[in-house]
Amino acid sequence: MELYKPIINEDRAFTNVTVQEPSKTDTSSDAIYMLGQSIAKALSQFGGERLAVESPEVVQQAQAEAATTPQPAQINDTGRVNDGRVQTVTDTALPLEAKAFLDTISRYESRGYNIIVGEGRYGAPATFSDFTKHPNVIGMRTVAGPSTAAGRYQFVYKTWKALQQQYPGQFTDFTPVTQDRAAWRYAQDVFKQRTGQDLLSTLREGRVDIAKNALKNIWIGFGLDPNVMGTYNQAFKRYTS
């Protein structure tokens, strides 16, 4: 059976990527998240065809915008508002390695499970409150077309529908737990297709670098993390300490 298409089409040209990365010593949540925001802004300008953020000014502008923009509320596993920047996986049944991996991805992708791409900067709502389904809201438009990315892992509606068709009855809502399970399932499937290996076994062997290389154009910020192993280890410790 043919695997559903990735969130980011791997035929797009991301070979000439020049992004101003945070230093290896600056791995705070703010620094990491701001890099993700500068990436999103670049994508909106260049339509995802060429990512060319060549100067620190781009990141500084994104930081300035974030400082003056009301931050969207996050939710925890019970649906209550959580103001903390770091948010952990809600699906307690996932393996520890899967939880740490999903935290590593989400560090770039989104502040929470209720986030709409663009976070309200382009006229669309910053968040959604109906978790019975993917919101399918156009949060921002690019040269390549509108984006409906939403949730902790920024699933676009087309990919979400493909997952539902691939696994009937498994992803019937868009709750935090379902988002976690879907993101882990999706990552495993794409990793298996591209490498022939099992993602969980690879993570247990400590080869986060292999996962990064295989999935870096699915979640672009994940691929740009200058210290992905450190990010993963830090996330892992949250579940074992």
Give the CATH number of the domain where residue 54 resides: 1.10.530.10
5 occurs within a structural domain: no
Range of the domain at 201: 18-240
pLDDT at residue 102 in the model: 95
> How far does CA 79 lie from the centroid of its chain?
20
Phi, psi of 203 (to 5 degrees): -65, -40
Q: How many CB atoms lie within 10 A of CB 17?
A: 17
31 occurs within a structural domain: yes
9 occurs within a structural domain: no
pLDDT at residue 194 in the model: 97
Q: How many domains does the chain have?
A: 1
Residue position matching structure tokens 């993390």? 225
pLDDT at residue 68 in the model: 46
pLDDT at residue 62 in the model: 42
pLDDT in tens, the chain (241 residues): 334 333 333 333 333 333 344 444 444 445 545 555 555 554 444 333 222 333 344 444 444 544 444 443 444 333 333 333 456 888 989 999 999 999 999 988 888 999 999 888 888 899 999 999 999 999 998 777 899 999 999 999 999 999 999 999 999 999 999 999 999 999 999 999 999 999 999 999 999 999 999 999 899 878 888 889 999 999 999 999 8
183 occurs within a structural domain: yes
Encoded amino acid at 52, one letter: A
143 occurs within a structural domain: yes
Cα dist. 204→100, 192, 223 in Å? Answer: 11, 15, 19
CA distance between the termini of the chain: 41
Helices (H), the chain: 29-46, 56-68, 96-109, 157-166, 176-195, 199-204, 208-215, 220-224, 228-240
CA 126/CA 115 separation, integer angstroms: 6
223 occurs within a structural domain: yes
200 occurs within a structural domain: yes
Q: What is the pTM of this model?
A: 0.69
165 occurs within a structural domain: yes
